[in-house]
A and B are shown apart, each in its own frame.
Chain A
Amino acid sequence: MTDNRLSAGQRLARLLTLSLLLCLLSAWGTSAVAAVSESQARTLLDALDTGNFQAKGEAAQAIADSDAEQKMRWLQALLDGRLGKERRGDRFYIITDDSGREWPIIDAISYEDAGTGTRRTVDAFRINNDLRTQLQGIMASLSLASGDEASRLQAADRLLGEVSSDNVETVRRTLADEESPAVRERLEMALALHAVAQGDAEALETLRGNLDTRVRNALTPIAAGDDALAEQTRAVLDGIENKRAWYSRAQTLFFGLSAGSILVLAAIGLAITFGVMGVINMAHGELIMIGAYTTWLIQQALPGQPGLALALAIPGGFLVAGAFGVVIERTVIRFLKGRPLETLLATFGLSLMLQQLVRTVFSPLNRRVSSPDWLQGSWQINEALSLTLNRFGVLLFCLAVFAALWALMRFTRLGLEVRAVTQNRAMARAMGIRATRVDMLTFGLGAGVAGLAGVALSQLTNVGPNLGQGYIVDSFLVVVFGGVGNLWGTLVAGMSLGVINQVLQPWVGAVLAKVFVLVGVILFIQKRPQGIFAPKGRTS
């Protein structure tokens, strides 16, 4: 059915890939490569010089089938867009480095150094998505001599839903010879899917609970019938859908926790400065931004080592933002004690100044902070559930920061003093606590934690002068919702707002989800002004 909609070219490409896959699986292939004459090589390459991508694909296949010993290098260069032809001539080149204006080039046939080429002198052969896929298939089959388990697994995986009466025997034979259990499982799945399509009800058992979407898509048309097989298929499909739904709920929960962890990270510094000290710090977002820029600066100083740079940025971002915090407290906030409106205006002005400072020093353009390899990609738990590593990392980081902060407040002398000053400033001073020093350190701590949030955010979003602005409103929302002056409240509030937001998002869209959350929090605050967790005892 689907085949009718495919063009002849696509069908050909598909057939080609399939036969290659089978070759790959049965580990067949000749490695007898003999050199071809220069004119033959020229003919092979000349066939690539066409605007028609299908013809190009056939030319690439011809190269793969030929005896040219340079064929791997040609195909790789073609895949990279670095194989080209002289514009006004008939030499073929491989561009060895295509950055900048002048590229070093070598002759594609003799590999002799050919000086430099430019956009004006070399026409690189272009490829498109279909051709790219085809080339990757061709190259996989060429490097088959190695035939390692990973490439066999990949090939077996691509067979799913592609088994037909033409190749079913080959697949069965391959299965009989195969030893790796993972590859066997894939092959059995592919065969079972074919068997069900042929009307074999027993094969359904193999597919029960399978989470691969291709299995579901292949079974759906079979379940549409009204015979016994269709009924059994429906039951299996229901099982699959049920299982997928559970995993999808788990995924939404993870998305929510991950979004929540960003909120918590951004808000927890504010929970200290606003919650504990009662200072409305509108420059909090800019302290986050400073943390992010510190990460970028450290990465610039350590090129090629994003992992080490990120590790160093954690203390670095904390100290730099903390230092800014201490300076802000000493120069501005302590003179405005007890005047919240003026503090608000002064820190708002400060936030504008910090933004402009960054614009002047680093330019208004966004900076790219790269992620280390271990924070890229995702952790594939099964076909239906995968967790992206950068967000998972931020979630863990958030919990670690929270635990450290909680321990600091609970077990250290500074924490004790902070709590004492919060509860009753006058009494604390009477007991010999230097309240001004505590203020300074508390504000510095809050700012430092904001810097840590910046380090984490640099892995998720753009680092630019406006980075902080997007988080200031959310942060206040979380602190107020959670209950002013309560770290646990901030954690619970941030996480629940994150989850609510992510649950709403697929239903109403990102914009409305945010509106609903905001309205919900406003209504909640009307009902319970002290937030989720009310502060215990008297507040000064």
Chain B
Amino acid sequence: MTTTSLRRLIAGSSIALGLSAFGGAAVAQDEGPIRVGILHSLSGTMAISESTLKDEMLMLIEQQNEAGGLLGRQLEPMVMDPNSDWSLYAEQARDMLTGDDRVDVIFGNWTSASRKAVLPVVEELNGLLFYPVQYEGEESSENIFYTGAAPNQQAIPAVDYLMSQGVERWALLGTDYVYPRTTNKILEAYLKDHGVSDDDIMINYTPFGFSDWQSIVSEVSDFGSQGKKTAVVSTINGDANVPFYNELSNQGISASDIPVVAFSVGEQELSGIDTAPLVGHMAAWNYFMSVDSDANYDFIDNWLDFTGNDDAVTNDPMEAHYIGFNMWLQAVESAGTTDVDAVKDAIIGVTVPNLSGGASTMMPNHHITKPVMIGEIQDDGQFSVVWQSPSAVAGDAWSDYLPESANLISDWRAPLRCGKFNVESMTCEDGPGAE
């Protein structure tokens, strides 16, 4: 036997081994229940928001199993608790994606920090992650599906709405981390494009859990008393919102003086506040519990029955999971397998009904189309929709308003298969298409 043929034999047998290993994995995947990983914090600071999403996923899985499961198999939830610790998210995602009980899909994460921690893990182990929260954009991963809003589906339309209401001065208040900083950078660029001068923009960041709002609110009130209509754009996250809104009402700033439009305050967050002094302040989302559609009313009824609590509320990230889960179901059905690569290809273009009476489609950049809504807070803690985009808006992974990302697009379809394609130089900066 010559060396060449020996080499061939080794190469051939290793390929065979690889193939059989692959086949074995495929066989193991195709029997027994389909595993759905749920990676939401059930303790720590994010538990307030995230534990609801875990319950919602359990409800959706239960409903699907009652309806006959998926591909004739049952769905089995696998719940983890990363304890609001960003590095624990990555560790637990790794646990979920390795071993015999590897999950077929993960629904999870809330903060951008935790998503950034999980991203390398799902890319390395080729997992699927559905991320349900509005975020800052400037990212597109082959393995992540972003079912929450990108800035062009939330922040930009909200600013447009306020401009149409005559607002000329802008206070951008945010919590000090990646989402508010990136969003405010985009908004600042956008406002300047629209002729707003530097003097008419105020930017302020505060730490997580901040509660001493007195001087900042007084500064905003001063900023807003210069004779021009002023609005606050708030990317304040988590429980810092409660003292913020309390301070606003204590200092007597009502929505008719200086309206606040928030991107992280929903029905869940308002359930801890007396909303009577906040009537008229706004939030921008893609869904509100008060949205008028039969699909929404069915969803609310199911949710109230599932939780056994008549006061339970639904919110935008819950709708995002509802859409994401149904998209995944449909993609698996059409691919006929839960194999990650097959599902990734099958899900692009999948269209499912959303809760506001329309439909959402998965775009090639792994973002979805959603209607944009502006709601005003009511005294019962709900929002009343005062503006809605005429049609669904497709999420833009790379903002057109930042010079560094204006030329970038993302398209995960073959043959491009690139998450960061520069249309000017026609090169792929990130993704399999780069090679």
Q: Report which A residues bind B (CB closer than 8 A).
A: 2, 5-7, 10, 53, 80-81, 98-101, 119-120, 123, 126-130, 132-133, 213-214, 217-218, 220, 248, 251-252, 255, 258-259, 262, 359, 364-366, 368, 370, 376-378, 380, 386, 388-391, 460-462, 464, 466, 470, 502, 505-506, 509-511, 514
Q: Which residues of A contact B227 (CB under 8 A)?
A: 2, 213-214, 217-218, 220
B221 to chain A, nearest CB (A): 9
A18 to chain B, nearest CB (A): 16
Extra A-B contacts (6), CB below 8 Å, given A119-B300, A364-B51, A470-B209: A129-B256, A217-B227, A377-B249, A377-B252, A460-B243, A461-B242
Q: Is the CB of A101 within 8 A of B304?
A: yes
Interface status of B108 (Cβ within 8 A of chain A): no
Q: Is the CB of B251 within 8 A of A388?
A: yes
A341 to chain B, nearest CB (A): 26
A437 to chain B, nearest CB (A): 38
Q: Which residues of A contact B216 (CB under 8 A)?
A: 505, 510
Q: Is the CB of B204 within 8 A of A388?
A: no
> A289–B48 Cα gap in the complex (Å)?
18
Q: Which residues of A contact B380 (CB under 8 A)?
A: 98-99
Q: Which residues of A contact B401 (CB under 8 A)?
A: none
Total A-B Cβ pairs within 8 A: 135
Instruction: Determine, out of B134-142, B272-280, B325-333, the stretch whose residues face the partner at the interface.
Output: B272-280
B12 to chain A, nearest CB (A): 57
Q: Is the CB of A7 within 8 A of B242?
A: no
With known contacts A53-B386, A100-B310, A386-B251, A258–B214 Cβ distance under 8 A? yes
> A252–B218 Cα gap in the complex (Å)?
10
Q: Which residues of B contact A377 (CB under 8 A)?
A: 249-250, 252
Q: State which of A119, A391, A511 has its C-beta within 8 Å of the C-beta of B205.
A: A511
B278 to chain A, nearest CB (A): 12
A302 to chain B, nearest CB (A): 17
The 7 listed contacts between A and B (C-beta, < 8 Å) are A129-B280, A133-B256, A248-B222, A466-B45, A509-B205, A510-B206, A511-B205
With known contacts A129-B256, A466-B45, A101–B215 Cβ distance under 8 A? no
Q: Is the CB of A462 within 8 A of B205?
A: no
Q: Is the CB of B48 within 8 A of A213?
A: no
Q: Is the CB of A126 within 8 A of B384?
A: yes
Q: Is the CB of A128 within 8 A of B376?
A: yes
A197 to chain B, nearest CB (A): 14
Q: State which of B43, B226, B297, B386 has its C-beta within 8 Å of the C-beta of A217.
A: B226
> A376–B247 Cα gap in the complex (Å)?
10
Q: Is the CB of A461 within 8 A of B211?
A: yes
A95 to chain B, nearest CB (A): 10
With known contacts A81-B384, A213-B225, A511-B205, A388–B250 Cβ distance under 8 A? yes
Q: Which residues of A contact B165 (CB under 8 A)?
A: 129-130
Q: Which residues of B contact A5 (CB under 8 A)?
A: 166, 168
> A461–B209 Cα gap in the complex (Å)?
9
B173 to chain A, nearest CB (A): 10
Interface string of B271-299 (1 = CB under 8 A from A): 01110000110000000001010100100
Q: Is the CB of B214 within 8 A of A391?
A: yes
Q: Is the CB of B215 within 8 A of A255?
A: yes
Q: Which residues of A contact B341 (CB under 8 A)?
A: none
Q: State which of A80, A386, A389, A505 has its C-beta within 8 Å of the C-beta of B379.
A: A80
Q: Which residues of B contact A388 (CB under 8 A)?
A: 214, 247, 250-251
Q: Which residues of B contact A101 (CB under 8 A)?
A: 304, 310
Q: Is the CB of A461 within 8 A of B214?
A: no
7 nearest A-B pairs in the assembled complex, by CB-CB distance: A217-B227, A461-B211, A213-B225, A128-B386, A388-B250, A364-B47, A510-B206
Q: Is the CB of B211 within 8 A of A119?
A: no
Interface status of B155 (Cβ within 8 A of chain A): no
Q: Is the CB of A364 within 8 A of B250?
A: no
Q: Is the CB of B250 within 8 A of A6?
A: no
Q: State which of B204, B215, B272 has its C-beta within 8 Å of the C-beta of A368.
A: B272
> A100–B300 Cα gap in the complex (Å)?
12
Q: Which residues of A contact B168 (CB under 8 A)?
A: 5
Q: Which residues of B contact A2 (CB under 8 A)?
A: 227
When C-beta atoms are compared, the residue in chain B nearest to A501 turns out to be B212
Interface string of B230-259 (1 = CB under 8 A from A): 000000000100110001011110011001
Q: State which of B207, B226, B300 has its C-beta within 8 Å of the C-beta of A510.
A: B207
Interface status of B123 (Cβ within 8 A of chain A): no
Interface status of B87 (Cβ within 8 A of chain A): no
When C-beta atoms are compared, the residue in chain A nearest to B214 turns out to be A255
Q: State which of B43, B176, B243 has its C-beta within 8 Å of the C-beta of A462.
A: B243
Q: Is the CB of A132 within 8 A of B280?
A: yes
> A259–B243 Cα gap in the complex (Å)?
14
Q: Which residues of A contact B222 (CB under 8 A)?
A: 248
> A213–B224 Cα gap in the complex (Å)?
10
Q: Which residues of A contact B51 (CB under 8 A)?
A: 364
Q: Which residues of A contact B297 (CB under 8 A)?
A: 119-120
Q: Which residues of A contact B242 (CB under 8 A)?
A: 366, 368, 461-462
Q: Which residues of B contact A6 (CB under 8 A)?
A: 166
> A130–B274 Cα gap in the complex (Å)?
22
Q: Which residues of A contact B279 (CB under 8 A)?
A: 132
> A464–B273 Cα gap in the complex (Å)?
14
> A505–B47 Cα gap in the complex (Å)?
30
When C-beta atoms are compared, the residue in chain A nearest to B378 turns out to be A81
Interface status of B429 (Cβ within 8 A of chain A): no
Enumerate B27-58 residues with CB–CB distance to A below 8 Å.
Answer: 43-45, 47-48, 51
> A378–B252 Cα gap in the complex (Å)?
7
Q: Is the CB of A120 within 8 A of B259?
A: no
Q: Which residues of A contact B310 (CB under 8 A)?
A: 100-101
Q: Which residues of A contact B218 (CB under 8 A)?
A: 251, 255
> A9–B226 Cα gap in the complex (Å)?
23
Q: Is the CB of A7 within 8 A of B166?
A: yes
A495 to chain B, nearest CB (A): 14
With known contacts A5-B166, A81-B378, A377-B250, A129–B255 Cβ distance under 8 A? yes
Interface string of B114-154 (1 = CB under 8 A from A): 00000000000000000000000000000000000000000
A203 to chain B, nearest CB (A): 20
Q: Which residues of B contact A365 (CB under 8 A)?
A: 47-48, 272
Q: Which residues of A contact B226 (CB under 8 A)?
A: 213, 217
Q: Is the CB of B251 within 8 A of A511?
A: no
Q: Which residues of B contact A466 (CB under 8 A)?
A: 45, 209
Q: Which residues of B contact A391 (CB under 8 A)?
A: 214
> A365–B379 Cα gap in the complex (Å)?
22
> A217–B228 Cα gap in the complex (Å)?
9
Interface status of B418 (Cβ within 8 A of chain A): no
Interface status of B219 (Cβ within 8 A of chain A): yes
When C-beta atoms are compared, the residue in chain A nearest to B164 turns out to be A7
Q: Is the CB of A366 within 8 A of B272?
A: yes
